[in-house]
Amino acid sequence: MERCTVRMPERIINLNDEAVQSSIAEMNLSEQLQKILSTVDAEAKRLGEIIGSLNEGKFELVKKSYESVKQLKDEAQNLKEETMEYIVRVSPALLTKELYIYSLSHLDRLIQIMDSIAYRLTILAESGIELDGGAKERFIEMSRKSLNMVSELFQEAKMLSTNAKMILEVHEGINSKEEEVDQLYRGLVLEIIKKYSKDVFSLMILKEIVDLTEDLADIIREASHDFKYLALYKL
């Protein structure tokens, strides 16, 4: 009678092993970043709708829509706080903890900037102030590029656990868009100053909105840098 030989696995996975714990933490954090950026992307889409409504002169719709942006901001910040608490709990096993902390800090700033833009747009709506001519076209283009960058950052988060190499390509696209936004910003600021130099209130609000939109592109680029470094670690 032949004996049945049972082969034992060469290596049993030890859940207490630091490398295993780090790998599990990385997977969990990738999922959390996707959740955060899914909410941030939704916030960006609502902001885009507010900008569209303002440009169409639908001031009441602008004021009503701000509440949804604020709710998404609060949701994203709660997710960010939960993720930060998780990092603190697993930090001894997580070699890339500083990169994740940097990325969460940049995402928090991104969330706040979009809320600030939306709030100031409601002030414009309440005051009946509108951009026109070339300034309006520049701002639409500038805001469109900045908000598209949010969607690309969301794509990077999805790739952290599936296609780290592709993140490097998306990162280059984000860098290029940030430079385009910067060029639009410089021309738009000059145009606003010339047009509204005698209307201090309009000048102040419009310049704040344009400054924040440029800041938005900058912080997205910084967050993309974080994802690039995380991708390089995984390659």
pLDDT digits (tens, 9 = 90+) for 67-125: 999 999 999 999 999 999 999 988 777 888 999 999 999 999 999 999 999 999 999 99
DSSP 65: H
pLDDT of residue 151: 97
Between 14 and 20, the higher pLDDT residue: 20
Between 130 and 171, the higher pLDDT residue: 171
Buried b / exposed e across 171-195, counting CB within 10 Å, b at 16+?
beebeebbeebeebbeebbebbeeb
Q: Which CATH superfamily is domain 18-234 in?
A: Phosphate transport system protein phou homolog 2; domain 2 (1.20.58.220)
